[in-house]
Amino acid sequence: MAVEQTFVIIKPEAVERKLIGEILGRFERKGLEVKRLAVTEIQKETAEEHYAHHQDKSFFPQLIEAITSGPVVLVVLEGDNAIEQVRTLIGATDPAAAAPGTIRGDLAIRLPYNMVHAADSPAAAEAEIKRFFGD
Ligand code: CMP
């Protein structure tokens, strides 16, 4: 079992609803370690780069508007198989379809407001940590 780092964004809708502690608590209770943490706002250019693979989708403008609409929390988590573990904890992309017990299944109801973003591969985790923390 490999120890990995992964990258998470707690999105503006979660910060607005004061769910930072609830969401970080779920990761910590699972056994993942918070290695880095920052409260910030994502600039439009950075958001467009981060979500560039969605730029042809009809929901792209709405997605950029949502992620830049207020403060976010940037998180680096570390632990065994952290990338897959976090994806399991957050649930399906569409909160309407996400299983109860998952972050999106319990705390969200409609896209694009699914509370968290998480890296989906080791390459994405490395690139996203570099993009948002600068190393
Ligand atoms: P995230 O994991 O941050 O990655 C891309 C984001 O696009 C996703 O979470 C949602 O916030 C958003 N998204 C994905 N599919 C749709 C959709 N069909 N309609 C609106 N937003 C979407």
- State the Cα angle at 67 between 65 and 68, rounded to 5°: 65
Average pLDDT over residues 107-119: 98
Residue 125, CB-side half-sphere exposure with 13 Å CA sphere: 19
Q: Is residue 63 within 6 Å of ligand 1 at its C-beta?
A: yes
Would you say residue 23 has pLDDT above 90? Answer: yes
pLDDT band at 61; cut points 50, 70, 90: very high
Q: Is residue 112 within 6 Å of ligand 1 at its C-beta?
A: yes
Query: H or E stretch including 11?
Result: none
Please, which residues bridge with residue 118 across strands? 8
Please, which residues bridge with residue 3 across strands? 80
3-133: CATH, from 3.30.70.141, 1.10.3720.10, 3.40.710.10, 3.30.1490.190: 3.30.70.141
- What's the whole-model pTM score? 0.98
Would you say residue 1 has pLDDT above 90? Answer: no
Give the pLDDT confidence score for residue 135 in this predicted structure. 72
Average pLDDT over residues 113-123: 98
Q: What is the pLDDT of residues 13-22, one digit of tens each?
A: 999 999 999 9
Instruction: Decide which of 87 and 135 is more confident.
Output: 87
117 is catalytic: yes
Q: What is the pLDDT of residues 81-112, one digit of tens each?
A: 999 999 999 999 999 999 999 999 999 999 99
Give the pLDDT confidence score for residue 15 in this predicted structure. 98
Q: Is residue 95 within 6 Å of ligand 1 at its C-beta?
A: no
Q: Which atom of ligand 1 is nearest to the CA of 113?
A: 11
Q: Which atom of ligand 1 is nearest to the CA of 120?
A: 2
Nearest residue (CA) to ligand 1, atom 4? 117
